[in-house]
Amino acid sequence: MTEKREYTGDYPEKKLYIPGPTGVRDDVIEAMSEPMFGHRMDRMTDLYTTIVEDTKEFLGTDNDVIILTGSGTEFWEASTLNLVDENILVPTCGSFSERHANVAERLGKNVDRLEYEWGQAIKPEDIRETLESSDKHYDVVATVMNESSTGVRNPVEEIGDVVAEYPDTYFVVDAVSSLGGDYVDIDEHNIDVLFASSQKAFAMPPGLAICTVSEDAYQREVEKDSASWYGGFQRCIDYYDRKGQTHSTPAIPIMLAYRKQMKYMLEEGHEGRSERHREMAEYTRDWAYEHFDMFPEEGYESQTVACIENTQGIDVAGTIEEVSEKYDMVFSNGYGSTLGEKTFRIGHMGEHTVESIKELTDAIEDVADL
Ligand SMILES: Cc1ncc(COP(=O)(O)O)c(C=O)c1O
């Protein structure tokens, strides 16, 4: 039984190096403190059309963009409801891809998993073989781009090229923990639906889910007689086309923060941001090889989350606690009970730089006596 614990407001500020949420610029936080306005006012149309069109520009996509109050999880559910009649193929390689499969099962779909050992990456040739040899028609292939539990970056571009050979199969990508920090050409690689959460590499407060939708995915939903209500592509996109707003009341303050942060993101650019994240990932990997090892299969390491194998047997939980107390920096243990002490994770995403990541690795070296 959970009991009430008073929120005192009296907490030391911690620098976040977890796989989300990530630190948010002060002026982006401040952007949220405007007096409230109505979600059907002209001002809302100004705000919502700005953030939607800026996001399209940032991502360089001609696909539609939906920005909805909720978190990325919303689009596991909505994309399944909108696109899957019967069969969905979900390659699983960690906790989040497994959860995608669970969500689809919960919604009554027939889910076929293509199971990989945790730490391994999904291989395009396996997807091709499954699609070629199966006697089932898959409505959707659903792939996680960045498996946050294992720090694996899956080759969604090549997988998209394979799925493109099956025109009645839609390709759905969970880019929750990579979008904004790892370049992906959505239109070039047949990605029908790609979604992310605001609190990861976008470095915004949590509370918004971002989703791109291809014309084909939109049309497919139009032809079907069942779809998510809240996350229905047609409902969201048609409302935007007619009114430039969302179909229901959104988290306006977070959208104000989004507007501010997206200006910074446009300045840096999709590729520029990706390059900065690549440098952080490279630095962290080199550091990991010097003291430990990397957990993911070589060549598939994430650009936003380093999952480091604890080859030295350090006390992961104890180190995290001490680094937090002594340096006010927080990083993550491994995912779940299996990887908890066997690995630890550093989120190098959002506004971080090689310099700020180095501050953390110096702190870990000090505390763990490396
Ligand atoms: C890869 C991945 N997918 C989905 C989710 C769920 O996102 P949210 O908590 O924003 O709903 C997460 C959260 O960490 C994630 O890392």
- Give the closest residue to 26 by CA, choosing from 262, 324, 257, 280: 257
Cis peptide upstream of residue 167 (ω within 30 degrees of 0): no
Cα–Cα dist 205/260, whole Å: 12
What pLDDT was estimated at residue 24?
A: 98
- Ligand 1 atom showing the smallest separation from residue 70 Cα: 11
255 and 50 Cβ atoms separated by less than 8 Å: no
Same domain, yes or no: 236 and 293? no
229 Cβ contact list (under 8 Å, min separation 6): 235
Same domain, yes or no: 117 and 47? yes
Q: Judge if the beta carbon of residue 18 lies within 6 A of ligand 1.
A: no
Order of all β-strands in the sheet with 170-174: 64-69, 208-213, 193-197, 170-174, 140-144, 87-92, 110-115
Q: Judge if the beta carbon of residue 72 lies within 6 A of ligand 1.
A: yes
Q: Quick check: 22 pLDDT over 80?
A: yes
**CA 82 to each of CA 96, 104, 216, 235, 303: distance values in angstroms, whole numbers, following the listed order:** 20, 11, 12, 11, 30
Question: How remote is the CA of residue 249 from the centroid of ligand 1, in Å?
Answer: 23
Q: Judge if the beta carbon of residue 197 lies within 6 A of ligand 1.
A: yes
Same domain, yes or no: 204 and 328? no
pLDDT tens readout for residues 181-195: 999 999 999 999 999
| Three-state DSSP class for residue 160 | helix
Domains in the chain, number = 2
| Three-state DSSP class for residue 245 | coil
The answer as to whether 181 is a domain residue is: yes
Cα–Cα dist 219/299, whole Å: 37
Q: Which of 267, 292, 309 delimits the end of a domain?
A: 267
Average pLDDT, rounded, for the chain: 97
Q: Would you place residue 253 in the very low, low, confident or very high pLDDT band (cuts 50, 70, 90)?
A: very high
Q: Would you place residue 216 in the very low, low, confident or very high pLDDT band (cuts 50, 70, 90)?
A: very high
Q: Would you place residue 206 in the very low, low, confident or very high pLDDT band (cuts 50, 70, 90)?
A: very high
Question: How remote is the CA of residue 264 from the centroid of ligand 1, in Å?
Answer: 23
Residue 172 C-beta-side C-alpha neighbours within 13 Å: 30
The residue whose C-alpha atom lies closest to atom 7 belonging to ligand 1 is 72
- Ligand 1 atom showing the smallest separation from residue 19 Cα: 14
Q: Which of 236, 267, 298 delimits the end of a domain?
A: 267
What pLDDT was estimated at residue 140?
A: 98
Helix axes 270-291, 252-268, angle to 10 degrees: 80
What pLDDT was estimated at residue 166?
A: 97
Same domain, yes or no: 234 and 324? no
pLDDT tens readout for residues 218-233: 999 888 877 999 999 9
Question: How remote is the CA of residue 135 from the centroid of ligand 1, in Å?
Answer: 32
Same domain, yes or no: 284 and 255? no
Q: Which domain holds residue 295?
A: 15-22+270-368
Place of tokens 């399944």: 80
Cα–Cα dist 270/165, whole Å: 27
Residue 97 C-beta-side C-alpha neighbours within 13 Å: 34
The answer as to whether 1 is a domain residue is: no
**Residue 317: how many other CB atoms lie within 10 Å:** 12
Q: Would you place residue 162 in the very low, low, confident or very high pLDDT band (cuts 50, 70, 90)?
A: very high
Cα–Cα dist 286/270, whole Å: 24
Token pair listed for 324: 């937090």
Question: Which residues on neighbouring strands pair with residue 64, listed in sequence order?
Answer: 213
- Give the closest residue to 317 by CA, choosing from 300, 293, 341, 339: 341
- Ligand 1 atom showing the smallest separation from residue 174 Cα: 3
What pLDDT was estimated at residue 338?
A: 85
Residue 192: exposed, middle, or buried by beta-carbon count in 10 A (0-12, 13-18, 19+)? Answer: buried
Mean pLDDT of 170-185: 98
What pLDDT was estimated at residue 223?
A: 87
The answer as to whether 221 is a domain residue is: yes
Q: Judge if the beta carbon of residue 182 lies within 6 A of ligand 1.
A: no
Percent of the chain with pLDDT over 70: 100
The answer as to whether 6 is a domain residue is: no
Mean pLDDT of 189-212: 98
Q: Judge if the beta carbon of residue 177 lies within 6 A of ligand 1.
A: yes
What Rg, from alpha-carbon coordinates, does the chain have? Answer: 21
- Ligand 1 atom showing the smallest separation from residue 177 Cα: 16
Same domain, yes or no: 212 and 345? no
- Ligand 1 atom showing the smallest separation from residue 145 Cα: 1
Token pair listed for 67: 């920005």
* Chain Cα centroid distance, residue 183: 13
Tell which one of 92, 95, 118, 148 to mutate to probe ligand 1, the residue whose CB is within 8 A of the most ligand atoms: 148
Cα–Cα dist 201/274, whole Å: 10
The answer as to whether 5 is a domain residue is: no
The residue whose C-alpha atom lies closest to atom 12 belonging to ligand 1 is 176
Cα end-to-end distance, the chain, whole Å: 41
What pLDDT was estimated at residue 16?
A: 98
Same domain, yes or no: 232 and 341? no
The answer as to whether 8 is a domain residue is: no
Question: How remote is the CA of residue 223 from the centroid of ligand 1, in Å?
Answer: 29
Same domain, yes or no: 125 and 167? yes
Same domain, yes or no: 256 and 296? no
pLDDT tens readout for residues 296-325: 999 999 999 999 999 999 999 999 999 999
| Three-state DSSP class for residue 241 | helix
Place of tokens 């969604």: 156
Same domain, yes or no: 202 and 68? yes
Query: Is this structure's pTM higher than 0.75?
Result: yes
pLDDT tens readout for residues 72-124: 999 999 999 999 999 999 999 999 999 999 999 999 999 999 999 999 999 99
Q: Would you place residue 337 in the very low, low, confident or very high pLDDT band (cuts 50, 70, 90)?
A: confident
Q: Judge if the beta carbon of residue 80 lies within 6 A of ligand 1.
A: no
Same domain, yes or no: 309 and 277? yes
Q: Judge if the beta carbon of residue 96 lies within 6 A of ligand 1.
A: yes
Q: Judge if the beta carbon of residue 73 lies within 6 A of ligand 1.
A: yes
Same domain, yes or no: 102 and 74? yes
Cα–Cα dist 42/38, whole Å: 9
**Strand ranges (E), 222-318:** 293-294, 305-309
Helices of type H across the chain: 26-30, 42-59, 73-83, 95-106, 124-133, 156-163, 215-223, 233-243, 252-268, 270-291, 316-327, 336-339, 354-368
- 204: domain CATH number is 3.40.640.10
